[in-house]
Amino acid sequence: MLTIKRVLDTSFAALGLIVLAPLYVVLAALVYLFNGRPVIFHQVRPGHMGRPFVIHKFRTMSNESDGTGVRRPDEQRLSRFGRFLRSVSLDELPELVNILRGEMSFVGPRPLLMEYLPLYSAEQLRRHNMRPGLTGWAQVNGRNAADWPTRLSMDVWYVDHWSLWLDLRILVLTVWKVIKREGVNQPGHQTVEKFRGNS
């Protein structure tokens, strides 16, 4: 079944990159206009079994810094256009390249930050037993509005209950969530609050 999942991921990622090519060009131009260079944001994230890979996203923040050269907080650097991209998940489109390479899947636990790895419990680490996804069970059950323990437990639940039918259900629910723009941020935050561990 996992082989079928991989074949579907590769096929639809390749198709998406071709069909959405004009949209990529338009979005890249708008990101350059509103956020400057570089247009694509690259960051190392933990993938399957925690192995690092470089994720690609459209940049949603400026490089604005204070008078001392230190970058301003994320909330201050998140542009109005960047906020729109996040609300409709268009910033995630370059991740189709990651899916095509086999580093990600369309559905799976979202790839978080490398710095979180030593903070997870043994149970939470099991979220890395499957490839990270463009969307996931946690994203359709609260998205970023859910607290960290809830989101991580839902990731593990997905790993334990995965099926092609569950993936299809998540994809359909994702479209609905994006249309409604629900749960984009955690309450009281313009971006997602960092995971600080379980203590």
pLDDT of 43: 95
Residue 46 CA to residue 112 CA, distance in Å, equals 7
pLDDT of 50: 96
pLDDT of 108: 97
Q: What mean pLDDT is predicted for residues 40-66? A: 90
pLDDT band at 66, cuts 50/70/90? low
pLDDT of 198: 86
Please name which of 105, 177, 165, 117 lies closest in space to residue 141, comparing C-alpha atoms. 177
**Per-residue pLDDT tens digits for 145-191:** 788 999 999 999 999 999 999 999 999 999 988 887 765 555 555 56
Q: What are phi and psi of 129, to 5 degrees?
A: -75, -10
Q: What mean pLDDT is predicted for residues 193-199? A: 84
- Does 121 score more than 80 pLDDT? yes
- Does 13 score more than 80 pLDDT? yes
Residue 148 CA to residue 171 CA, distance in Å, equals 22
